[in-house]
Amino acid sequence: MVRAIAVILVLIVCAGAAGAARVLLDDGSYIHGEVLRVSGTKTLIQTSGPDGTGLVWIESAKIKGTQPEPPGTADALATIEELIGRGQLTDALERLDLLMRREPAHVDVTLFYARTLRKAWKFRASLFLYEQLIAGSSSPQLDVLQEAAETAVLASLEKEADVAIKRFKSAAKQNRDLQKYADALRTQLKGGARVVIPNPSSDAKSREELAEDRAKYESDDGDCYLSALVAARLLGALKSAYSTIPIRVQVTALVQDSVRDEYRKGGDEAAFIAAVKRVRLLVSVDDEAWITMYDWRKHSFLLQCLFTVAATYTAAAVDLTILRGKPDPRVVQTKELATANIASDQQTKMTLMTPRNRDLARDAQLREYERQRTELEEKMK
């Protein structure tokens, strides 16, 4: 015990000297904050994050050390928060995705990402991150349990919501008001009165300012600012992966004109995304290069197109057509080289309209791999 306390005291000194720090836990995760003091077998940590500071007690035996916060994480979160404040949820989510890849175990980044996804009406993805946070904590905070339950209800996932509500209600057993709220969540889940609604995106910019921003797009690339942004992003990614094969991308959200006009005038971006149920995606390619490309690479190309668009238009099915030449639906002589579709449930279909072009060397490698795997399984029986 004396040795454990001595170690923690060293951690206190290190954390205080380093400023912003991480407290490393034995399960591989960490808490963004500083060790304040030790009391018996527990250690008091002052946490910090996008929503301010807090205090949490942790079993001393679970703490493995501290390390300085990598430079840039706090600044990155602050920048992302500014983007959200300006109503730029799509850009904010892109940056959060990159930050999450860099800091997969960062509790504050994960929580911030979960809350931002919820704000963008991406409830399933948000719930996944909440569950990840809860599973990685021996004593998850009550507000996180509550938000997870709310998000599961908003996602209309009955099984997951039932578990989340029970967990939240159990943790809030000393709070009568929260007990009643948990019961109300269950009522909403079963089609009753709504006690939790999707959070509208925060628009620090006025509608006029947003409308001015959204007027700046190329109509040949998309039907609105967001579609043109997705088209530009996809074209850049395709050129990076496939060089000169992709030529042009056009994204069209098939939605009522009144809904599109509301978005163009500065309306809520998340509401617009939720209203789009189908997207038309046209991609023109160098047809000679396309024909010579192996079929498995064509399939990869199609999937990248589908999932890139579906990542933004999360409630929509995406219909993709690969065209020879400029992707202009008015040019009837344009030849289709391939079609693909991703449904709202993520099921995909792909059709190539060019002669088969198998990668025989790759096929042979795959057959050899399968043979070796089968042999290994037989030996292990």
Q: Do 27 and 87 belong to one domain?
A: no
pLDDT value, residue 71: 52
The answer as to whether 366 is a domain residue is no
pLDDT value, residue 20: 55
Q: Is the pLDDT of residue 325 over 70?
A: yes
The answer as to whether 57 is a domain residue is yes
Give the rounded distance of the alpha carbon of 273 from its chain centre: 15
pLDDT value, residue 354: 86
Q: Do 233 and 312 belong to one domain?
A: yes
The answer as to whether 379 is a domain residue is no
Pairing of strands 317-324, 278-285: parallel
Q: Count Cα neighbours of 138 within 13 Å in the Cβ-side half-sphere.
A: 15
Q: Do 218 and 176 belong to one domain?
A: no
The answer as to whether 195 is a domain residue is no
pLDDT value, residue 334: 52
Amino acid at 25: L
182 touches 149 (CB < 8 A): yes
The answer as to whether 64 is a domain residue is yes
Q: Count Cα neighbours of 295 within 13 Å in the Cβ-side half-sphere.
A: 14
Q: How many angstroms separate the CA atoms of 109 and 119, rounded?
A: 15
Give the H or E element holding residue 272: helix 269-275
pLDDT value, residue 371: 84
Q: Do 99 and 31 belong to one domain?
A: no
The answer as to whether 339 is a domain residue is yes
Q: Residue 178's closest CA among 189, 191, 165?
A: 165
pLDDT, average across residues 243-256: 91
Q: How many angstroms separate the CA atoms of 241 and 245, rounded?
A: 9
Give the residue, 5 or 124, on which the prediction is more confident: 124
Among 7-11, 140-144, 313-317, the least confident range? 7-11
- Percent pLDDT > 70 in the chain is 85
**Of 50, 68, 86, which one is at a domain's C-terminal end?**
68
Residues 6+ apart with CB under 8 A from 344: 277, 315, 316, 317
pLDDT value, residue 198: 66
Q: Do 41 and 77 belong to one domain?
A: no
**Of 189, 215, 250, which one is at a domain's C-terminal end?**
189
The answer as to whether 363 is a domain residue is no
Domain of 182, CATH number, reads 1.25.40.10
Q: Is the pLDDT of residue 191 over 50?
A: yes
Pairing of strands 52-59, 63-68: unpaired
Average pLDDT, the chain: 80
Residue with tokens 């989340």: 164
Q: How many angstroms separate the CA atoms of 79 and 93, rounded?
A: 12
pLDDT, average across residues 374-381: 78
Q: Do 246 and 224 belong to one domain?
A: yes
Per DSSP, the three-state class of 14 is helix
DSSP 61: G
Q: Do 78 and 57 belong to one domain?
A: no
Residues 6+ apart with CB under 8 A from 1: 41
Q: Is the pLDDT of residue 90 over 50?
A: yes
Give the residue, 73 or 112, on which the prediction is more confident: 112
**Of 38, 68, 98, which one is at a domain's C-terminal end?**
68
pLDDT value, residue 16: 38
Q: Is the pLDDT of residue 6 over 70?
A: no
pLDDT value, residue 12: 38
179 touches 169 (CB < 8 A): yes
The two tokens of residue 304 are 């990248």
Q: Do 103 and 25 belong to one domain?
A: no
Give the residue, 130 or 216, on which the prediction is more confident: 130
Q: How many angstroms separate the CA atoms of 30 and 10, rounded?
A: 18
pLDDT value, residue 108: 87
40 touches 20 (CB < 8 A): no
The two tokens of residue 94 are 């892109």
The answer as to whether 372 is a domain residue is no
- Read off the pLDDT band of 33 (50, 70, 90): confident
Q: Do 218 and 243 belong to one domain?
A: yes
Entry pTM:
0.48
* Number of domain units in the chain: 3
Q: Do 160 and 107 belong to one domain?
A: yes
Q: Do 158 and 216 belong to one domain?
A: no
Alpha helices in 120-245 (DSSP H): 123-135, 142-154, 158-171, 176-189, 207-214, 225-242
- Domain extent at residue 46: 2-68
Residue 284 pairs in a beta bridge with: 248, 323
The number of beta carbons lying within 10 Å of the beta carbon of residue 376 is 9
Q: Is the pLDDT of residue 130 over 90?
A: yes
Among 194-198, 280-284, 301-305, the least confident range? 194-198
pLDDT, average across residues 154-168: 91
Q: Do 149 and 243 belong to one domain?
A: no
